[in-house]
Amino acid sequence: MGPSLTFRTGVRDVLPTVFGYIGVGLAFGIVAHTSHLSLLVVAGMSFIVYAGSAQFIITSMLLLHDPLSAIFISTFLVNSRMILMSTSLAQYFRHESLFKNLLIGTLVTDETFALAMNKQNKTNGKLSFAWQSAANLVAYLVWGVATIVGALLGGMIADPTRFGFDFALTAMFIGLVYLQLISDRRLGLSLQLMVMIFVAIIYYFMIGLMSQNFALLVATVAGCLFGMEMKKCR
């Protein structure tokens, strides 16, 4: 990953992460097929909702005939972390129009956000609309196509876990965290590890008091505040 911020570079930089999208996307398509969702519903969910973990939850709730209100609330809670990510990412695009910021925020994911944070370490804290749009668009299209292919293959693969599809997302996040740890020299390895441990501890205790999604949100905010204070003390 170099310092260039062109559209073509964005496409090249995001390519290593698409394997995770393919694995999880295929798994979702297969699960959706076995849950008796039509190909049109799978495609619509992937290109409109566009939220991996939330789509699995929506599928299971539809299978149980849960009310739409419960599905909407659950989807919002699962994706509430995107508010924090988009807010953090917006500082790099203050010079861009509101419309361009909305385009970026609409398609940003955990992976493209992590990729952007890793990229700005190589560019002296700068990002471009062209680069971010390329990364977001490639991820968006690969995810949608992968879920459709998964739905088409659903009749041939009864158990996606046998092929390790369920571990694809975890493996991709491990890789992204590793890249962040070794590339961000401004913060240093020790500070990043301290923040990660702090977030894990907060999440561990909060999960006994509230839902997993709220616990994750609280731990993330607490981690941001903790990191800010620790950075001031350096």
Q: Tell me, yes or no, whether 28 and 86 share the same domain.
A: yes
Summarised one tens digit per residue, pLDDT across range 156-176 is: 766 666 666 656 556 666 766
Q: Tell me, yes or no, whether 62 and 173 share the same domain.
A: yes
Q: Tell me, yes or no, whether 18 and 122 share the same domain.
A: yes
Q: What pLDDT shows up at residue 186?
A: 66
C-alpha closest to that of 50 among 128, 124, 129, 142: 142
Give the C-alpha distances (Å, rounded to integers) separating 53 from 37, 56, 159, 172, 231: 17, 5, 18, 14, 32
230 pLDDT band (50/70/90 cuts)? confident
Q: Tell me, yes or no, whether 231 and 121 share the same domain.
A: no
Predicted confidence (pLDDT) at residue 122 exceeds the cutoff of 90: no
DSSP assignment letter at 160: G
DSSP assignment letter at 122: T
Q: What pLDDT shows up at residue 161?
A: 64
Expressed as residue numbers, the domain containing 205 is 187-234
For 4, the 3-state DSSP assignment is coil
Q: Tell me, yes or no, whether 161 and 98 share the same domain.
A: yes
Q: Tell me, yes or no, whether 63 and 176 share the same domain.
A: yes
Q: What pLDDT shows up at residue 78?
A: 74
Residue 2 lies in a domain: no
Q: Tell me, yes or no, whether 68 and 152 share the same domain.
A: yes
Q: Tell me, yes or no, whether 23 and 63 share the same domain.
A: yes
Residue 102 lies in a domain: yes
Higher pLDDT, 74 or 146: 146
Q: Tell me, yes or no, whether 124 and 229 share the same domain.
A: no
Residue 1 lies in a domain: no
Q: Tell me, yes or no, whether 64 and 115 share the same domain.
A: yes
Q: What angle do CA 85, 16, 90 make, to 5 degrees?
A: 20
Residue 166 lies in a domain: yes
Q: What pLDDT shows up at residue 167?
A: 65
Q: What is the mean pLDDT of the chain?
A: 83
Q: Tell me, yes or no, whether 165 and 233 share the same domain.
A: no
Summarised one tens digit per residue, pLDDT across range 49-59 is: 998 878 888 88
CA–CA dist 221, 167 (Å, integer): 27
CA–CA dist 205, 17 (Å, integer): 31
Summarised one tens digit per residue, pLDDT across range 174-202 is: 766 776 666 666 667 788 888 889 988 99
Predicted confidence (pLDDT) at residue 83 exceeds the cutoff of 70: yes
Q: Tell me, yes or no, whether 179 and 192 share the same domain.
A: no
Per the structure, how many domains does the chain have? 2
